[in-house]
Amino acid sequence: TGSYPRLILQFELKRNVLYFILETYVPSTLLVMLSWVSFWITLDSVPARTCIGVTTVLSMTTLMIGSRSSLSKTNCFIKAIDVYLGICFSFIFGALVEYAVAHYSSSQKCAAKVPEEVRPDVP
């Protein structure tokens, strides 16, 4: 019916995916793999397993806080990166809890093997 003037507006949004891969995903995956290294350390090596467990938990916590500060502020919405980092944190924390349970059960088995005469008297 005719030619009508109009205003056209286009937005082109780009996300720097390489930044998130190098700054968040790769370090968190490596931290999970490092926490699993403690499964190959003997149960008697308490300082080594505890050091790896606590260090990976603290490093993952720092990584989670850093990723939250680099993203835009939204009103309490959970993001996909929060879910991913939360799952990574649960794997790392689970490895630390596994060692605590394994060490406790090992000490209970050792205490059960000690004969009654050798045990100190407990009032």
Q: pLDDT tens-digit profile of 67-98? A: 888 777 776 788 888 999 999 999 999 999 99
Q: List the one residue out of 35, 27, 45, 33 whose CA is nearest residue 95.
A: 35
Q: pLDDT tens-digit profile of 6-44? A: 888 899 988 888 888 898 999 999 999 999 998 998 888
State the CB neighbour count (10 A cutoff) for residue 89.
Answer: 19
Q: Give the pLDDT of residue 120.
A: 62
Torsion angle in degrees (nearest 10) through CA of 20, 23, 28, 33: 120
Residue 60 binned pLDDT confidence (cut-offs 50, 70, 90):
very high
Q: Give the pLDDT of residue 4.
A: 83
Q: Give the pLDDT of residue 35.
A: 93
Lowest mean pLDDT among 46-55, 92-101, 108-117: 108-117
